[in-house]
């Protein structure tokens, strides 16, 4: 189901449309159930929590803002947070809570992706070492810390065009180094 369709259903639910609520449940409950099950690891408990999630969706549908984000993300956040709150209510040890957050947070890269990121970071640092120390400092300040060319010019006490030249040449050297 498209996010625009889900948003329309949520808006209809906010107006008290029970038919829209039934369609929303039918079309989104499988995904929300899988989120609850993945966090809670118990089918019966996940089913119970899912029903509570839909009560919250019914109650909070008026607070859903169409332009604020994806409706599927909004629904998933309600399910995720309620499942985690259920674990908290059990008062588990810190280890179980950390595990629940790790399972629920899909943004954590898997070990293979983490190794690739680490390798890429290492390659970038090696290439940065090949740059002149002042130029490497300028690249870090501009592209990692967000300083403008003008701020860098003032900080380094060099003309603005010199900063531009340093950064352009440094980026070319970095690209060449990374392609090796």
pLDDT at 144 (0 to 100) = 74
Contact 57, 75 (CB under 8 A): yes
Q: What residue numbers bound the domain in which 19 lies?
A: 3-104
Please report, in angstroms and rounded to a whole number, the separation of the first and last CA atoms in the chain. Answer: 45
- Supply 30's token pair: 């499988």
Rounded to whole angstroms, how far apart are CA atoms 90 and 176?
Answer: 55
Q: Do residues 15 and 99 share a domain?
A: yes
Of the residues 83, 104, 125, which one is the last residue of a structural domain? Answer: 104
| 94 in the same domain as 122 | no
Same domain for 74 and 35: yes
Whether 43 contacts 36, CB under 8 Å: no
Residue ranges of the chain whose pLDDT lies below 50: 94
pLDDT at 72: 87
Asked if 57 and 81 sit in the same domain, the reply is yes
Length of the chain: 180
**pLDDT at residue 7, as a whole number:** 87
Cβ neighbourhood burial of 106 (10 Å; 0-12, 13-18, 19+): exposed
Examine the domain organization and report whether 73 and 91 are in the same domain.
yes
Return the pLDDT at 32: 94
The total of structural domains in the chain comes to: 2
Q: Concatenate the DSSP letters of all residues of 47-80 into one string.
A: HHHHHHHHHHHHHHGGG--GGGS-HHHHHHHHHH
Residue 106 is predicted with a pLDDT of 57
Domain boundary among 73, 104, 135: 104
58, 67, 74, 152 from 63: Cα distances, Å = 10, 12, 11, 44
Q: Which two tokens stand for residue 137?
A: 């400092």
Dist CA 29 CA 40 (whole Å): 16
Residue 180 burial (10 A CB sphere; 0-12, 13-18, 19+):
exposed
* CA 16 to the chain's CA centroid: 32
- 32 and 74 both lie in a single domain: yes
**Do both 91 and 139 map to the same domain?**
no
From 69, 84, 104, give the residue that closes a domain.
104
Q: Of 66, 78, 64, 71, which is closest to residue 33 (Cα–Cα)? A: 78
- Contact between 17 and 31 under an 8 Å Cβ cutoff? The reply is no
């Amino acid at each position: 189901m498209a996010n625009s369709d889900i948003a329309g259903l949520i808006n209809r639910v906010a107006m008290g449309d029970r038919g829209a609520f039934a369609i929303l449940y039918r079309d989104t409950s499988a995904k929300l159930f899988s989120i609850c099950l993945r966090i809670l690891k118990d089918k019966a408990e996940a089913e119970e929590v899912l029903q509570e999630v839909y009560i919250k969706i019914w109650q909070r549908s008026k607070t859903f803002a169409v332009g604020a984000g994806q409706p599927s993300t909004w629904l998933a956040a309600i399910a995720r947070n309620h499942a985690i709150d259920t674990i908290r209510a059990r008062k588990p040890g810190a280890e179980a809570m950390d595990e629940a957050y790790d399972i629920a947070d899909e943004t954590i890269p898997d070990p293979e992706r983490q190794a690739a990121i680490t390798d890429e970071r290492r390659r970038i640092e090696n290439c940065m070492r090949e740059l002149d120390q002042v130029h490497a400092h300028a690249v870090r300040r501009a592209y990692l810390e967000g300083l403008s060319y003008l701020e860098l010019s003032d900080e380094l006490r060099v003309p603005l065009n010199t900063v531009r030249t340093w950064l352009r040449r440094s980026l070319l050297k970095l690209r060449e180094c990374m392609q090796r």
